[in-house]
Amino acid sequence: MKLIALVLFVVDMTLTGAQISRVLHRSGGVMDNFSPSRSEEAFIVDCLKGVISDNDRRCHEMRAMARDMTVKATSRRRIRRFCKVISKTGDLAALEIEYITKIVAMKNRDNSAKRDAMKMVASCSRFASSTRRKWKSFFDARTSSDDIEGKTFLPTRQETDGDVIEVVFNAPAFNASKYLNHDLVAVDLALLRVPPCQIDEYYGKYSLVVRKFSQQAQEFETAVHRSEQSSCPTLEGYMMVASLDRDELSPWFFKIENEQLKMQVQVAPFQQIFSDENISELTNIVQRALSLTFHFRIGKNAQPAVVHSIEHLFPFHLEDLSNGRRNRRGLRRNTDNPECGRKDYHLDLRKPGLNIASPASYNVGECYGRCEYPLSSHMNATNHSIVMKREEIGNRRPSVPPTVDCVPLEYFKLHYLYIDDTNTVDDGILNDFIVRHCGCI
């Protein structure tokens, strides 16, 4: 990609075209196809049309899901319970960050998060192994490394005309230079679609095209995404995600194109199967754009771009202690206390005054228990703590406090979402936040 060397100013910092070109050089985009293979699609269609015996386990499961989707008025309470009905004017604040919330949950080792994300955007992965592999690779690229952080933009405005959506994002209003030494992993546009269970759609295969507006040509001339995506019988399936061309989106992020980003999204059906045979085709499947997320891997010897002090995220006031103090150190010599180890501690992250949008709570753990001699191997005691515990026992005096405590030895990072004052969502990292192992030291 040709770049013209420029000098631009971002929050009092000068970035040269050469600096930005290094980021763009590392960010070549890849387009993909997320539909089932031909043989898998034939199996899905034949199953739904009754060609395949119900004795086939996958087919039996698919038909059962299709039946659950199409419960009619006689059991309207049941369909409300099963089908995740999404309103175009529903809780947009939650929907707009739902995709990146799932990404953050996967980074935090939430085993159910990837399964939930698959249900949300990749309903065919349940019945087509090739689709499952593609989406697994898609999510792994964004979550498998502990050093990936993100920046998410929310739409400023959008208009719908039939099966076409035009969406606008304001020019970035933050210091983009902090990301110069990072590698751009992916750029994702999350879209809200009508859930298949809401329209009794058994199977659908769609063409998804996203075009970027050119100020010079004054038209949507540059395709930044082309793919096929499919939906299978599901009670969710209310989102589509387009992985955009990183080379085309990077100049906007780094303010080479210091203007609004305008994109056009078009979703057209290739094939659709409905429970009602009289319906041959439904368009206008996509309702709105939800968010635009840039995923960055922290560069070698670079610092995270999203940095918040612990005091900023967790403002502390003395009145917080009004409900009483807890002694979380294993200092007591009560024999009813367990030996030193990690125990669960679920921290509420949605308390008034805290500035974290997600997760709502997390099991950060704590270290609790006795550190009494002899120290057993599972206490992860150090040689120093063993010797000091012997000294403590040999020189025990009531006025001398214990010298060996049950404390964290190793931590995990916590990934979190923070909505800043520029109406963007930071995917930040808190180091040394989740207790992994405890020991007596």
Position 80 scores a pLDDT of: 44
Highest mean pLDDT among 48-57, 92-101, 261-270: 261-270
Last residue of a domain, one of 236, 270, 297: 297
Has residue 13 been placed in a domain?
yes
Degrees to nearest 5, angle at CA 353 with 357 and 364: 60
Residue 305 included in any domain:
no
250 and 320 in a single domain? The answer is no
Same domain membership, residue 12 and residue 146: yes
112 domain residue, yes or no: yes
What is the model's pLDDT at position 408?
87
The residue from 297, 325, 357 where one domain ends is 297
Tokens of 329: 């150190």
Residue in this structure with the two tokens 């751009």, named with its chain if needed: 184
Does residue 125 fall inside a structural domain?
yes
Same domain for 160 and 280, yes or no, is yes
Residue at 302 is within a domain: no
Q: Do residues 293 and 314 share a domain? A: no
Q: Which pTM does this prediction carry?
A: 0.80
Residue 271 and residue 373 in one domain: no
Domain of residue 432, CATH code: 2.10.90.10
Whether residues 221 and 82 fall in one domain: yes
pLDDT in tens, 385-401: 555 566 566 665 555 56
Q: Domain check: are 266 and 316 in the same one?
A: no
Q: Is the dihedral of CA 195, 198, 202, 203 positive or negative?
A: negative
Q: Is the pLDDT of residue 87 over 70?
A: no
Domain that holds residue 84: 7-297
pLDDT tens across 430-439, in order?
Answer: 888 888 988 8
Residues 185 and 63 reside in one and the same domain: yes
Does 432 share its domain with 410?
yes
Q: Are residues 348 and 429 in the same domain?
A: yes
Query: Of 208, 166, 191, 187, which Cα lies nearest the Cα of 251?
Result: 187
Model pLDDT for residues 20-49, shown as the tens digit of each residue: 444 444 444 444 789 999 999 999 999 998
Q: Which pLDDT belongs to residue 81?
A: 46
The reply to whether 370 falls in a domain is yes
Task: Give 134-174 pLDDT, tens digit per residue.
Answer: 999 999 999 988 889 999 999 999 999 888 999 999 988 88
Of 239, 267, 297, the residue at which a domain comes to its end is: 297
For residue 255, pLDDT over 90 is answered with: no
Look at residue 303 and tell me if it is in a domain: no
- Whether residue 188 lies inside any domain: the answer is yes
**Number of domains observed in the structure of the chain:** 2
Residue 87 sits in the same domain as residue 233: yes
Flag whether pLDDT at 241 surpasses 60: yes
Residue 216 pLDDT class (50, 70, 90 cuts) = confident
pLDDT tens-digit readout, 305-314? 877 777 677 6
List CB contacts of 52: < 8 A, sequence separation 6 or more.
43, 46, 59
Q: Is the pLDDT of residue 189 over 80?
A: yes
Same domain, 56 and 112: yes
Confidence of residue 88 (pLDDT cuts 50, 70, 90): low
Q: What is the mean pLDDT of the chain?
A: 79
